[in-house]
Amino acid sequence: MKNRVMSQSILLQRVTVAICTLPLFTLEAQASVSTIESSTPVYSAQVDGTRLEKIVVPPQELELDMNAANSIRSEAGAFKPARYSFPNAAVPRTALGHLQSIYHYDRRRDVPIVSSGGDWVIAEHFAADSHIPTSRFRLLGTKVQRQEQLDSSGRTRKIILVGWSPVRSLEDEDVSDLSSLGRNPAWIRVLSVSSDGRKKLIALAWRREGLEALKSTDEEPNERQLQFGLQNGTVRWPSMTAFTRANDIDLSATRLSGEKKSP
């Protein structure tokens, strides 16, 4: 017992010394941020003083934000948790007492695609008092894999796909076989989507002629390796900036903060 008390005392001294060596600004930042866990209703929240920064909840707790694209089930059949953050809104901590009040604020909603969680997610932005997403992305970390441009009813009207694929493909799938890509694969494809769900390739960024063969489908190009144009092979835009501006492509996913992409 005596040894146990001594060990705990030594551990406390070490922790105290470690804390005392931290910069003052670090201590201040850590002191104001805390995590709150609740079992009824179920949530895990991060608060900073009187402000709610993030919250993870079963999606049914905020079910009005659920839609077919963002409601992902685990292998066991349960819906995967929704992660909310508020990059462009000041949400009071008191919202934890009535979770539905979160609906009154601009919000970003992420759902993990795989059961292990992680940073591969479907991410959407909702405006205050609306349950129709203004934008939707599939992200791996900060990298955009897919962007959906939505109309005012939430219907997908355009899809932007990022990643190597055969130049005329309309499919959204990983390509692991380099030989299936062809000589000049596409890096970015822009698809229009009709009201009945039919997709049409309308613009793309593809690999220039004469370059060394790709060594991996994970290899990312630089701008000099790409041409930007139409589905018939006509070069239309001189640069990535012109191409993304003309097709309203948001490779930084800035719309998830509720901000309009700069023209």
Quote the radius of gyration of the chain (alpha carbons, Å): 23
Cis preceding linkage at 41, omega within 30? yes
pLDDT of residue 193 exceeding 90, the answer is yes
Per the CB < 8 A criterion, the answer to whether 163 and 145 are in contact is yes
3-state DSSP assignment of residue 37: strand
Integer angstrom CA distances of residue 257 from 94, 249, 254: 22, 15, 6
* Distance of alpha carbon 233 from alpha carbon 206, whole angstroms: 9
Position 160: which residue type?
Answer: I
Supply the pLDDT for residue 7: 41
The domains of the chain are located at 37-115, 132-263
What pTM was estimated for this model as a whole?
0.84
Task: Classify burial at 222, counting beta carbons within 10 Å of its beta carbon; exposed 0-12, middle 13-18, buried 19 or more.
Answer: exposed
What is the pLDDT confidence band of residue 12, given thresholds at 50, 70 and 90?
very low
The DSSP element (H or E) to which 205 belongs, if any, is strand 199-207
Supply the pLDDT for residue 22: 37
Integer angstrom CA distances of residue 239 from 77, 169, 223, 246: 45, 22, 7, 11
What is the pLDDT confidence band of residue 258, given thresholds at 50, 70 and 90?
confident
Position 243: which residue type?
Answer: F
Residues 6+ apart with CB under 8 A from 188: 160, 161, 162, 204, 205, 243, 249
